[in-house]
Structures are given as C-alpha cells and as structure tokens.
Structure 1
C-alpha cells in the first residue's frame, strides 16, 4: 500500500500583503497562519460588511480590507515579480454560485473530510467559504486549479474560476470556527480518498449533454393546447387565463400523466424557480410532485433546492416552462 503524501504546515508560510485590492505593490510579508487568525481593528470592518445589505456599501467596505497572495510572495502582483512560492492554492466557494447549498457551516464540516483541505473558513462577506489546499508544483498552478475545479464540480460545488491566477488576492476575513489541518495531504489530480458525504449531499441532478430518450406514449389529451392558448377564456367569467393559471394547469396535467420534464438539471432549476416565483412557499409541494417522476428523485435534495430558491433572487420567465414542455412534445412550440 502506497504511503500518503503529507506536508507539515506548522512552519512559517511567507505571503505578500497588499493594503487594498487597488495597490499594485506589496506592503510587506506576513505569516499566513498569523493572517488567518488575525483579530484587530479591521475585524470590525468585516462585521460591518456582513451586516450591510446595500451592495454599494458592501463593496466600499470590502475595498478597505487588506489582502494577501496565498500562493506566493511577490513584490508586485505579476508572475514575473514572484520570488517565493508557498505551494498552496486558495479556492472560493461563493453562495450565489451554489444556490443548492443552504448551510455554509455544514458545508465547511463536510469539506473537512477531504484529506487535502488545509484550511476552510468564511469569506469576508460571510456568504461563502475559501479553502487553502497544498499542491506539489507551482509551475503547474493553472492545471492544478482546473483539476480541483473539476473535482468539486463532481461533488456539485462550483468554485470561482478566477482562482486560477497564482497572484490572486485573498481579502482579510474572520472565522471563529474555521477548519484547520496543518498536516493536510498534498493534492493530486486523482485523490485516493474522496468524501462520499460531500458528494452525496451536494451533488445535483446530472447535467446531461444529450437529449433525453423520447418520452413514453402520453395520455395527455389534445385539450391541453387549447387551454394554454393566449386567446383562451375561462368560460365561467369570459376572461383570459392569467399566466399563473396557465402554469398551474400545465403542471397539473403533467403530474396527472406522471411525465418527467426535469431530466436536465438546468430545466429542473428553471421549473423550480418559476413555481417559486408564482406560488412562493405554497409551491413546494407542487415542485416535489413535478420532481418525483425523475427516476433518481430524492426528497431531501429537492427540498433543499426549493429552500435555496425561496431565499434566492433568481428570476425566470414562465415562458421557459412552456418551452420545456414543447421539447417533450407536450405542447406545440411557442411562436416567437
């Protein structure tokens, strides 16, 4: 059995500090470990940032924070100005890129199961996490980043693609309960150990690249197109159907005939957001019903997704639902 590669991170790790993101030249060198656990007058700024709801003010507060280059020590933020490498890569997991992850603290715990995570803590905004990972060859930084990005995507986690820059800045942050492993394994492109717990909890429905198999013969009557026509009227009141009524009727017909229209992950998310935008919390049961015809339907995953949608601000045009239905030959294609 091969020995695991383990790197001792107890020693001083020199990184360059910049007074702000606008500064081109480094103001000095600091020990990474001191930086990660720093508490001073700037910690107050981080608290203010996390409590501020105005986007412009949040940006202004963030610009007041100093930052470091986790992957290197350099006199300027340019690769040709690097004079020492740390053999570390820092990745960002932003909440807005991962709407299915509703509990950041839970994710932090799960990521701690990965043997190559040296540090995992809250970002400056408090809406995401950053992880520091040791790796072997700094000359291969971008390729290592791509491998890590792909590994995390397989776990259903999207990481910020700009982390591939070896001189990228990491803003000062503060976390009273970070995950720390100073003896973390050196990352390899094919880690010997993977966290099944992380993969199970956060891996979304597969993002298929090919068209789904042709749906089985449907029992939906031709009348479904009739009541979805824009010029249709409710007989009792002689008034046109509202968009909400059209959506509700289409979904009811789909559930009545048990047709899976959530085969694609992106379609599933779009359908959920359309339901959320029109029905709010009352649409949760309907989303579960529509999702339940997917062969690998998972109640907990579906519920988490809908909870993330409820607090999210993603808007989808309801016409997307009819486009999806048309792709499954449930209605005629929408004329644009």
Structure 2
C-alpha cells in the first residue's frame, strides 16, 4: 500500500482577537481543534460558513462596518498549526502559503480564476470573505517562507500579469485567513511545489539525476502529445534528442523520434527518416538518454511518473543511509503497491547515479516518508509505538531515529517538528493486534476445539442439562471464551472464570498457555491490589490472571463487581497531567486451592467456578490455541450470546453452591434464626434490623457486625422486611410502624 503524506493541518481561531489564550494569559481549554486543510477548503466550497460570510458581504461597501463584522468571524492559519497564535509559537507547518488578489472587478474575477486554475503551482483558489477578491494557495517550502513570498509575487506578475491588490501581510506566518464561501472553489491537491525563488544566481551546467523505464518515457511522450509540444527548436537540439534516443534504443528509437519531431512546423516524415539514418551513423557516445530528459525538463515536462518519483525518493533515502539494495527493495515493496519487477531497476539506477535525486516533497513530507520507512505502528492495546518485531519504541529508539533524521536532512527538520510527525496517526498508523490476529486467520473456521479444551479438564462440578447438551464446564467455558473475543472488539464481558482444586494439577498453566505464542505478551498476572495500576493492566492486556486469588481486592465484592462491569476506566496515568478514558480489554480469570470463593450474598451472576481434579496435559497441549480462538471468534460473529441469561444464572447457581463462602453475619444468622415455615406451633417474632444485630452480637461475644451485611444476608435467606403497625409510643403518642422481619428464633445453646 502506498503511503499518503497529503494531510496538512491548520489551526482554527474563533475570530481576529482569539490568540488561543484566556484573559489571564493561560491556554484556552476550549480552543478550537486543528483541522485538515481539506476540511477547510471543503467547508468554503460547501457553505459551512455561508451565513456569517454573507453577513459580512452585506456591508462590503461600508468599510468600518465591514471590518467590524469580518473581525468577528472564524479564521485559520494557512502556514500550519500554532500552540498559540504567535509567530514564535509555531507548531507543525502545512507547507502552504495563501495570498490575496484584491479589488478585482466582477468581470475580471472569473477570467483570473480560470487563469489560475490552469497554473500547476496553484493548490487552491476561492473568493475571499468580501467576495471582491481571490485567495490563492500555493505549496511552498516553509523554511524558505520569505523567498517563496517574493517568488510568488514576481511569478504572478510576470506569468499572469497579476499585480493589483497584493496584501503584504501574508509574510506574517500566523496571519489569519478568514473563512469564506465559494461553491466554485478550485483545489489541486497534486499542485507542484513552488520553487521559483527570486535570487539571481549564475546558471551552472549541472548533471541532473534520472532513472529510465519504459513507463516513464511513455509518460513523457503523452505529455508532449497533450501539449503538441515541439522540443526540436533548432537543428542542434533536434540532433541531440535523436542521438539521446538512439543511445538507449538503437534502431528501435525511430518511431519515438518521429513522435517527438512531428510538432515542428517544418516536419516531413521522409526528411525525418533520412535524418534518423544519419544520426544512427554519427552518434557520439558521450550523449546518453539523460540528454533527452534534460530537454524535457527544460520544457517543463515531468520526466518520471508519480510512481517512479515515489520509488526514487525512497531509494535515495535508503542510499543515503547506506542501506543495501535488497533492503531498499524490501522497503519499497512494503510501502507501495509497486511490483519488484518495476521497482528494482529504478532503485538500482538511483544507487548507480553519482547525482543526488531532487524531490518536490517538502522536508516535512520527506520526514513523514522516512519515519514510515521504519514501519512503526501505534499498538492500540499496549498504547505504545512499536517496531515490526514487536519491541517497544522507547526513548532510546526515538533518539536514534532522530539522529538518522539529522544526518539525512542536514539538520533541517527540528526536534519539535520531528516528534510531531512521529507521534501522529498519519505517520505511525494505529493497529489493534487482537483484531489483526482474527483478520489474518479469517480463512480458519474450526469446530469442536472448545469441546476438546473442556474435555481436558477432569472435574466434579456441574451436571448436564440433558445427554445432548454440553457439560457445565463446556457450556460456561465457551461463554467465557466468546466474551474474551468480544473484549477484543471493544464489547464488554463481565464473566470471570476461576479454576479451584488442589495444588499442582495445572490450574495456573491452563491460563498461562491459553493464548497462541504471538499473543502471550497480552497475558498478565496480578494480585489486584495496586489500584489504578491494575486498571491500566486491564486496558493493556487481553487476559489478566489472579493466581490463588491472594489479593485482598478479590474479597471486596463491590470492587470486583465494578471491575467486571466496567467498559471504560477514567484515570490518570503515571506522570500524566490529566485524566484519560481507557477501554478495558482484558478478561479476568483466576485460580484457588480452596473452593469457598463466592461471597456475594446477593447471588452470583459473574463468577464461573470449576473445581479441577486434574488436567490432561497431553490433550491440552495438543489443542491448537489459534483454532481455539477462531472457533470462539466465529461464534461471536454469528451472534452467539456470551452474557448470562436468567436461565444461565439459575443453572450456574444450582451447580455452584459448594463454592459459597458464608460471612460471619450469615453464619450467625443461620445459627440463630430461621424463616417461618407457615406450619402451626411456630413462635414468630417481628424484629427490627437493630434487634437482630444486637442478638447476633451477643452470640458473637460483643463483636461488632455490619448492619448492611446483615440486611443482605437476610435477603439471601429469603427474609424480606415490611412495615408493621404497633401500638402508640408512650412518649411521643405516635403510632409506630417500623420495618421488621418475621423470624423464628432457634434455641441453639
């Protein structure tokens, strides 16, 4: 895939008085975001700012009111982006310059507009905010800003006779370009870089670098035909062009010689043939095909296709870095859609040339291309820039890459501009390796793998719904695995799979080796007792494992519910200055020797416990973990549910009562009180919560209990409070209607 370096950002300000700061001099937190120049030009064309612009144009003949209204509409800084609107606070250049042609008569505007549309250097043209002038945008080298300004001024005067209405304030790089409206806006995103600088220098004979391919020479001939261009002004030129073509093609150059010669006013086919025969016989060996390209360039023709220029640029960079030709070929093939058969000859010619290849790309664009040649990407899971090998691109690597840039561009790309390129999604594309994994294995549609994984676990947990239904283990293991896939695609899965059982049966290794080798870096272990660090862990990994459930956090039912139900964490990262919202990507799992792991009195809807007697290691190791995930993936794509329905929750709880861990409050309640059965002879007491708590604490030797836990445990026992009317309070004389529970007191010693 070829790389696109056309994005050019500009800063947006609300009006003439907006400089990106508040009145107290602090940065404005509500400052408008930067936009692509394309968005600005499309907005001008499509009428995004039509109403405010027409409001300004309505008073164009009243200068005072016109200036007042214009000062209060938005504008952009065509030069590029700014930290604040101050020439000393520039950020990233766009490589563009806008100039004004003001005070044109209406009859002149269309003529000048059409004239500029045909100019190869014009990037865009549209009516300015007042409607009586034109804004013209050029591509320039931002490091030669003033030279470009003077060059454009002279060029428009000499080339097109446009000398009126120049606004010299364009030399101010942070000058505001007010929004406008022009449905006829013209844009040429492939405009040439303006390099016609005004300095008068002595011309020297310079050897121009070139590469030659059949595609390129046909590209040149097509331009000649399109313009009916005569390159053969004099006999000397004609002969030299003929010799140049013959040097490359010999006799086969005859039809090409006719193609080039036919646009001369004195062209005659027979005479041209005779001259060609003469040239074949007299060709000086010092003239090569480069001479033909020289004449073409002198006539303003492109001597290489955009595709060839792209290869030339990449090859020139690789050559300067002393990269081998095979490595350069590999880089070109990875960065473009060009075949090796087309690319290799161009690369070899660049390496063989003694001349440096010039490029129409700005330093900014070349910097983008150079960084892209390292094939770095932003890992959306780890949230770090990484190399193709998967290694983190840290501070040392950033410095090394910048040192390369210093050498390659002779220090013309500053550190700030370099880092703005490096940390840009345009330059370093974001990649989700989890989604990429599934995309790369789309052809793989296995079945029965999850069943094999479940069969490798010998367990005494669960009973089958019927002989044709999957076992408890397979049923819930499948849901957890599909939920794991769902998390990779930014959907929430609130299930946690826990294996219990004796030591050394392989519970921990079951999870550690569940992912394919290429994805195991996204498996992490924790005790879940590190606060926000664990939340970050859940955002940077795919599976987070709690070994032996040893952390205190697992005992906190509220915290576990929050972690399992959270899709996004709002937190401040280490060394961060502001809070960020991070997607949770990890599924939770764990292991425990004791079986008593369920402590939520409101019931279990998220924890899937399986008691492991043993794991068949041979059967487990034989399972292809890629196949395992792909089966879960296709189940997810098919819409198979991974959340638990009410029936699933009932099935889960019917099979997992043995995993419950009763609190002290529950144990005392079970020992002290029972729910009325409704049979005769029972003595039912109507007790308030505080009365029950005092009774329990007396049995617990005065130990303080939690009333909220008692309330939850009473509900878990099926006891619900209700309001009961008692007699009047002797002190307040008011009717008492407290909330009470109907209980039967147990006469345990």
Greater per-residue helix proportion: 2
TM-score (norm 2): 0.23
